[in-house]
Amino acid sequence: MKADFMAAVNLRELLAGPLPEIMNAALAAKLRHRGDSFSLCTIMNARSGKCSEDCSFCAQSSRYSTSAPVYGLVSADEAVRQAERARDAGATRFSIVTSGKGPADHEIDAICGIVSAVRRETGLDVCCSLGIAGRETMLRLRDAGVKRYHHNLESSREFFPGICSTHKFDERIATIKAAASAGLEVCSGGIIGLGETEEDRISMASLLADLDVDSVPLNILVPIRGTPLEGCRPLAMDAIIRAVAIFRLLLPNAAIRLAGGRESALTDFLALACMAGADGMLTGGYLTVRGRDSAEDRAFVRRIRAIWRGCV
């Protein structure tokens, strides 16, 4: 299998081809298109809980009884404190995330104030993940200093109705297109291990490639007690690694970012995922789940980049 078979990708090979060959092709694509780059970013849960939506994996939905914290929008001072910690831990991006279907008009000024303060005090690139939003909101965020907007597809178009009924898949696509049309970079990915098929993962990756997103966070489901998916069985390790490789091969120019669930699902296999083309991570924790120590992540990045340089 050639490393540049993206030109006429064979979906049957992606599904059934030998995993070592697919990994080799994916790593070659990563090194060819993105060199030995590796990025760390941090997210901040700037408003938590009481979400109106019924996403079946989410601890913050008001429809489920979970132990997720509930609080309103944080102050600019608190956001700056968290951003400073993220910067000192090695992050180059800081993402402000709020629960809920999307931001109300009256909230945008406060969020833009937070963005401006974080940019001014830390110099970090600031991203926002505020839910479903239109172009006017994106323009206001851009003018406040936001560089990238995050909004996951979550899964394939075909599988999405089985995990969310309170909004449409096309609303997610419209949000991604609104961000891009406003001149923002786009970060969009999803969750694997929801009960979807391998074909669903390929469908999601193919659509993200069509949307030409800049960064793809890959989450591995962490079943949360109290949600409909609390009893989901974990994905096999080879399925996770194959998924990483598939996303790399279908999105050779995007950052493929290991996100929620990597600590519990990958454990000692984190390097294997990077040898399958992953080249970014969320560090310092997630919205309602604690992550690995940032110093360990920085040491890991140094080691994996040294290995990549030896592969060139």
What is the tens place of the pLDDT at every residue in 178-192?
Answer: 999 999 999 999 999
Going by C-beta distance under 8 Å and a sequence separation of 6 or more, which residues neighbour residue 122?
80, 83, 84, 86, 87, 94
Tell me whether residue 6 is in a domain.
no
- pLDDT recorded at residue 40: 87
- Measured distance CA(176)–CA(188) in Å, rounded: 8
Tell me whether residue 73 is in a domain.
yes
> How far, in whole angstroms, is CA 45 from its chain's centroid?
14
- Residue entry with tokens 């990915």: 189
Domains in the chain, number: 1
- Measured distance CA(240)–CA(106) in Å, rounded: 41
Name the pTM for this structure: 0.90
- pLDDT recorded at residue 286: 46
Tell me whether residue 89 is in a domain.
yes
- pLDDT recorded at residue 88: 86
Percentage of the chain modeled with pLDDT above 70: 90
C-beta of residue 284 within 8 angstroms of C-beta of residue 294: yes
Give the residue-averaged pLDDT of 270-287.
Answer: 83
Give the residue-averaged pLDDT of 58-73.
Answer: 90
Give the residue-averaged pLDDT of 1-22.
Answer: 64
CA count, 13 A, side-chain hemisphere, 16: 3
> How far, in whole angstroms, is CA 241 from its chain's centroid?
16
Tell me whether residue 1 is in a domain.
no
Owning domain of residue 214: 36-311
Tell me whether residue 7 is in a domain.
no
Q: What is the band of 106 on the pLDDT scale with cuts at 50, 70, 90?
A: confident
Top pLDDT among 288 and 35 is at 35
Tell me whether residue 229 is in a domain.
yes
The string of DSSP letters for 205-260 reads HHHHHHHT-SEEEEEE--PPTTSTTTTPPPPPHHHHHHHHHHHHHH-TTSEEEE-T
- pLDDT recorded at residue 311: 84
AA identity, residue 233: R
Q: Inter-axis angle of helices 169-181 and 198-211, to 10 degrees?
A: 30
Q: What is the CATH number of the domain that holds 187?
A: 3.20.20.70
Tell me whether residue 196 is in a domain.
yes
- Residue entry with tokens 């000692």: 268
Tell me whether residue 9 is in a domain.
no
C-beta of residue 155 within 8 angstroms of C-beta of residue 202: no
Percentage of the chain modeled with pLDDT above 90: 73
- Measured distance CA(148)–CA(214) in Å, rounded: 9
- pLDDT recorded at residue 90: 81
